[in-house]
């Protein structure tokens, strides 16, 4: 960890706790900052806030009072999930106070280079693949960000021999200043989180921030098949390394049944065990990043002939009476569910529904041809029922939640069917996280046995 004096005696507001806020507050305190912590959970039931208070930090809990700015505040580190419409954030911006996220702090103290991975879908799978490929190739990656530990915790342990492999959300990237990954990876851009960003353009701008500080000495691994991304890179100074599943590019691509990087064949597509056509994009992006840091083909081959997926992302759960159950709870938007359904040729019983962000589901219609049953739940149930009816799905069932959906799906299934949880919605109407939703699905499947 780099020991920096920049924060010494600075008054720094940490807005929102959870894992990232707590880790950020602790690190800033170690770096000599005067830390003020603000969290909406009252102090009485807020163990994290109590612990920070015991270390001498000023703690204000139970709301977000504007009176915090009665004292001088030099900068704000906010939890990525807190929107920019939060009154404290709005006031900080109005006063010209920098509003940052913990990724910026992680970069400032890290001795290791960063590989930063972002996109609307596939981030976790791609981040995991890169991490596994680098480990198999004798590198020393440290996985961080939205997957695993928060970046500021991992960065404190990083040395020059490590590589920080970091999954990054648009929320995190909006709060960076000097963050500069050695390799950025942009997978795809699709309408997502518009309740937070407002427009697709603003969302894309947030994603594009991953490249804003890169120079020609750095690399941007980009999806050449995504028109939005190809427009974004026109403003990048990084060395562009494209990947494509549709044609040959000067990067990673498919040709004659093989996977190539530049002119070199890495392996045969047929030997890849990760299911789903969409995962080929993730695989090509991971290969490009791994090759750029000198990973040998043998290490890449070993990963791709054994890696079957990450938890909650098209995860095979079990087979019961020749019905295969897949947990794709991380499919929190329509594009993810489109890709999940497209991964199967068999008849699908789809479990979908969740938080209503105001969108409809017309974009799912072309992908519902092999969906024979829809079981829906949550705030978007009525919208999904309407879409299913338009698609001509004959069997539609509304249930209270995921747990009740599983036995109903089993009862309505036949030999050879795929039972797929791929909600196309965030989980927050009924569950704290998509992980909790996925775990409930897994438990319900195991109870069937």
Same domain, 397 and 274: no
Which domain CATH number covers 332?
3.90.190.20
Q: How far apart are CA 426 and CA 437, in angstroms?
A: 10
Reported as type and span, the H/E element at residue 409 is: helix 402-412
Within 13 A of 138's CA, how many CA atoms are on the CB side?
Answer: 5
Counted domains in the chain: 3
DSSP conformation letters of 193-207: -HHHHSSHHHHHHHH
**In sequence order, what are the residues at sequence separation of 6 or more whose Cβ sits closer than 8 angstroms to the Cβ of residue 385?**
374, 376, 396, 398
Does 200 lie in the same domain as 292?
yes
Strand partners, 118: 186
- Each of the 449 residues of the chain gets a pLDDT tens digit; together they read 998 999 999 999 999 998 899 999 999 999 999 999 999 999 999 999 999 999 999 999 999 999 999 999 999 999 988 988 999 999 999 999 999 999 999 999 999 999 999 998 889 899 999 999 999 999 999 999 877 789 999 999 999 999 999 999 988 999 999 999 999 999 999 755 555 545 778 888 889 999 999 999 999 999 999 999 999 999 999 999 999 999 999 999 999 999 999 999 999 999 998 877 778 999 999 999 999 999 999 999 999 999 988 888 888 899 999 999 999 999 999 988 998 999 898 999 999 999 998 999 999 999 999 999 999 999 999 999 999 999 999 999 999 999 999 999 999 999 999 999 999 999 999 999 999 999 999 999 999 98
CATH code of residue 37 = 3.40.50.720
79 in the same domain as 92: yes
The CA distances from residue 422 to 146, 337, 351, 395, 438, in Å, are 20, 6, 6, 17, 10
Let me know whether 128 and 263 are in one domain: yes
Which residues are annotated as part of the binding site?
Answer: 119-125
Domain-embedded: residue 444? yes
User: pTM for the complete prediction?
Assistant: 0.81
Name the domain boundary from 282, 304, 326.
304
What beta strand segments (E) does 363-405 contain? 371-376, 395-398
| Cα distance between residue 303 and residue 311, in whole Å | 16
Print the domain residue range for 393.
Answer: 315-448
Residues in the chain: 449
Phi-psi bin for 396: left (phi > 0), alpha (psi -120 to 50), beta? beta
**Binding site residue list for ATP:** 119-125
Name, in order, each residue with C-beta under 8 angstroms of 426's C-beta and a sequence gap of 6 or more. Answer: 332, 354, 355, 357, 434
């Amino acid at each position: 960890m780099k020991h920096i004096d920049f924060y010494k005696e600075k008054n720094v507001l940490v807005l929102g706790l959870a894992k990232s806020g707590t880790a950020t507050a602790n690190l800033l305190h170690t770096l000599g900052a005067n830390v003020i912590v603000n969290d909406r959970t009252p102090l009485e039931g807020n163990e994290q806030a109590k612990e920070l208070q015991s270390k001498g930090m000023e703690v204000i809990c139970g709301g977000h009072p504007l009176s915090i700015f009665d004292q001088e505040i030099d900068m704000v580190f906010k939890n990525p999930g807190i929107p920019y419409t939060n009154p404290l954030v709005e006031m900080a911006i109005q006063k010209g106070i920098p509003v940052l996220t913990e990724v910026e702090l992680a970069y400032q103290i890290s001795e290791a280079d960063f590989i930063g991975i972002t996109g609307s879908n596939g981030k976790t799978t791609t981040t995991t693949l890169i991490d596994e490929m680098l480990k198999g190739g004798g590198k020393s990656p440290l996985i961080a960000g939205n997957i695993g530990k928060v970046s500021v915790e991992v960065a404190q342990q990083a040395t020059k021999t490590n590589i920080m492999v970091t999954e990054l959300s648009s929320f995190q990237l909006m709060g960076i200043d000097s963050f500069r990954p050695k390799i950025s990876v942009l997978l795809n851009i699709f309408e997502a989180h518009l309740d937070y960003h407002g427009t697709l353009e603003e969302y894309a701008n947030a994603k594009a921030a991953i490249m804003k500080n890169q120079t020609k000495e750095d690399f941007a691994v980009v999806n050449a098949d995504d028109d939005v991304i190809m427009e974004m890179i026109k403003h990048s100074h990084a060395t562009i390394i494209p990947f494509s599943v549709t044609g040959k590019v000067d990067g990673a691509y498919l040709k004659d049944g093989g996977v190539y990087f530049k002119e070199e064949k890495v392996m045969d597509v047929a030997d890849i065990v990760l299911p789903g056509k969409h995962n080929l994009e993730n695989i090509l992006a991971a290969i490009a990043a791994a090759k750029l840091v000198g990973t040998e083909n043998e290490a890449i081959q070993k990963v791709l002939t054994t890696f079957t997926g990450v938890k909650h992302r098209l995860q095979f759960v079990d087979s019961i009476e020749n019905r295969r159950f897949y947990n794709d709870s991380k499919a929190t938007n329509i594009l993810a569910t489109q890709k999940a359904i497209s991964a199967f040729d068999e008849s699908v019983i789809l479990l979908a529904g969740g938080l209503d962000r105001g969108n409809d589901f017309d974009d799912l219609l072309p992908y519902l041809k092999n969906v024979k049953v829809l079981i829906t739940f949550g705030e978007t149930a009525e919208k999904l029922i309407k879409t299913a009816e338009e698609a001509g799905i004959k069997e539609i069932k509304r249930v209270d939640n995921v747990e009740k959906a599983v036995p109903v799906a089993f009862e309505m299934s036949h030999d050879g069917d795929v039972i797929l949880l791929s909600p196309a919605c965030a989980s927050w109407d009924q569950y704290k996280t998509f992980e909790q939703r996925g775990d409930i699905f897994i438990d319900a499947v195991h109870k069937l046995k």
